[in-house]
Copies of this chain bind each other. A is one copy, B any other.
Amino acid sequence: MPNAEQQAINLAEKLTRFDALWSPKIVAQMNDYHFKIAKIKGEFVWHSHPETDECFLVLRGEMTIQLRDGFVHLAQGDLYIVPKGLEHRPCAEHECHILLIEPVGTPNTGDAGDERRVEAQWI
């Protein structure tokens, strides 16, 4: 169908569709990577992803990624790649909205596997 408009993915609109904290939702797939949006507040668990780097991009608000030997502060529009295998703990004082990019099937709690593990669903 010529000139048919296809829809882009509006991240802000997708973020209106859920409230749950620390529960990433899949919005897109590129090759074998998932793009996930999440709302975070408070402290997550220390974990690492032994098989992959992980991308954090702050869409709204600000957050800190604690590292065993330091930390990274991310404001809106900031990007950080957590290296494969590096222990980290995401934190946010106030509610913060983020975009995560990582291989399909990467668990949110990495190697920690505690009760905060959730299976990401498409939204």
Contact = CB atoms under 8 A, between A and B. Distances in A.
Copies of this chain held together in the complex: 2
Given A33-B33, A35-B55, A101-B101, A81 B28 contact: yes
Interface stretch (A18-26, A69-77, A110-118): A69-77
**Which of A30, A33, A78 is packed against the most chain B CB atoms within 10 Å?**
A30
26 contacts: A1-B69, A1-B70, A2-B69, A2-B70, A3-B70, A3-B71, A5-B73, A6-B70, A6-B72, A8-B78, A8-B79, A10-B75, A10-B78, A11-B78, A11-B79, A27-B79, A28-B55, A29-B53, A29-B81, A30-B53, A30-B54, A30-B81, A31-B52, A31-B53, A35-B55, A35-B79
